[in-house]
Structure 1
Amino acid sequence: MEHGPDNAALWLYELGEYQLCELAGDGHAEHASMLCNDDARPPQDLWLLWTGEDEPRKTRIAELPACPAAINRGRTNAWHCILFAEHPAVHSWEISDPLGDLIKQQAKEEAYRRFDQPDQDPD
């Protein structure tokens, strides 16, 4: 991968042992977490894939093409699926991320607190 790490195994070790699966729901053969993306054309991303919940897990690192799906959000705005091509389950825009939502809400509250503004949703 042109813009990826030189030594993927060492880089993965430095990330630590915890990765969150980016796929929705259960019942898929492998879990997947994007390690890095590449702006190549066609886009290729580096993914960590693993099976099993308990040790020892079977893991692999794979360079996979990006999912081509996108939905229009107005005339000039589109949301692109950030998963890999032919991924199981739904596209990324249909996946809820409770942890991400909590972090976003806490960051918003902290910003309002720091700037001494009432807590109101700017959306």
Structure 2
Amino acid sequence: MLQCTAVTQAPPGDVPDAPAAVDGGPDSPPDAVTPNHLPFLLCELGEHDDAFPEHAAYLRSAGPSSAPALWFFWTGAGLQRVNRVDTVPWCPAVLRHLGTGVVQRCAFFDRHPPPHSWSVTDPLGDLIAERLLSGDGPDTS
């Protein structure tokens, strides 16, 4: 399934203050969210419909990998947009690759709409990553 294409601008009052809601406070993690680092948020879920109207963007981990993570949720657009920042547990689903023994955890929050993260594809993100890895990235000279 393709990734949802919803994008929203990070609201100046909510996202910059969000790290304070995480254990350890705003100064503990090096990847604190600020308006300069995160002006726009992209929904990371697979394409979803009105059965699950909220879009979701991962902001950062709240601690060890098993600890809940900080997510930004929103619905609507423009003046009708409603958003919230919430610390929620990770989805407990895992995908076990029997041939290799690799275990892959779902990268979404608990009770997200289907599918799990390993079934969501982002062709544009894959293309950009492929070009950067092959050295065909943007010319910076």
Q: TM-score normalised to the size of structure 2?
A: 0.65
5+ residue gaps, structure 1, are: 112-123
| Structure 1 contact 4–36 (Cα < 8 Å) conserved | no
- Per the TM alignment, residue 42 of structure 1 is displaced from its structure 2 partner at its CA by 4.2
**1:52 equivalent among 73, 76, 80:** 76
Aligned-pair Cα RMSD in Å? 2.4
Helix, strand or coil for the counterpart of 2:42?
coil
| Structure 1 contact 68–85 (Cα < 8 Å) conserved | yes
| Structure 1 contact 4–46 (Cα < 8 Å) conserved | no
**1:2 equivalent among 10, 23, 29:** 23
In the TM superposition, what whole-angstrom CA distance separates every residue of 1:51-83 from its partner, at most 9, and x where no partner exists?
113345211100000001001123541110010
Distance 1:17 1:30 in 2: 19
Distance 1:17 1:97 in 2: 20
Q: Does 1:100 align with 2:125?
A: yes
| Structure 1 contact 31–51 (Cα < 8 Å) conserved | yes
Measured at CA, do residues 107 and 73 of structure 1 come closer, stay the same or move farther in structure 2, by a change above 3 Å? Answer: same
Q: TM-score normalised to the size of structure 1?
A: 0.74
Moved more, 15-24 or 60-69: 15-24
Aligned length: 108
Distance 2:83 2:92 in 1: 25
Moved more, 44-53 or 13-22: 13-22
- Per the TM alignment, residue 4 of structure 1 is displaced from its structure 2 partner at its CA by 6.2
Distance 1:49 1:99 in 2: 22
- List structure 1 segments (4+ residues) > 4 angstroms apart after TM superposition: none
Measured at CA, do residues 110 and 37 of structure 1 come closer, stay the same or move farther in structure 2, by a change above 3 Å? Answer: same
